[in-house]
Amino acid sequence: MKNVNSNSIRFISRIFTVAAIAALTVSNAYASGHTEKVAICHLPPGNPENVQNIEIGEPAVEAHLAHGDILGYCPPSEASTTDTTGATVSSTPSFVPVKVYSMRSIQGQ
């Protein structure tokens, strides 16, 4: 297929991305009692080991998602443990941002 098809696919993909972000932002805000705050698992740029739970205003959600933050609260990290050699091992959650789209969720079905 020609380059036109790949450009069309990119354009449609961007539309779905914006629609999904808007739908998630609105549904999350209404699900938590119509508050104007949204829970985010914040991965500070340049320091992803320092994940933090924060609540932000709806207008800031898109910017946070754009730099890798995740909707909702961070999963609990495991406590530090000592391995068989006596070294302290600390487990920090690692995240791989993934965007998942479903036609049903976008269309509200």
Share of the chain above pLDDT 90, in %: 2
CA 105/CA 90 separation, integer angstroms:
37
User: How many other C-beta atoms are found inside a 10 Å radius of the C-beta of residue 67?
Assistant: 11
- What does the pLDDT read at residue 36? 77
pLDDT of residue 21: 72
pTM above 0.85, yes or no: no
Domain that includes residue 17, residue range:
3-107
Domain count along the chain: 1
Q: Which of 10-19, 74-83, 97-106 has the lowest mean pLDDT?
A: 97-106
pLDDT of residue 98: 52
Start-end of H helices in 32-102 = 61-66
| pLDDT greater at residue 15 or residue 26 | 15
Distance separating alpha carbons of residues 51 and 42, to the nearest angstrom: 6
Query: What secondary structure letter does DSSP report for 73?
Result: P
Q: pLDDT grade, residue 32 (50/70/90)? A: low
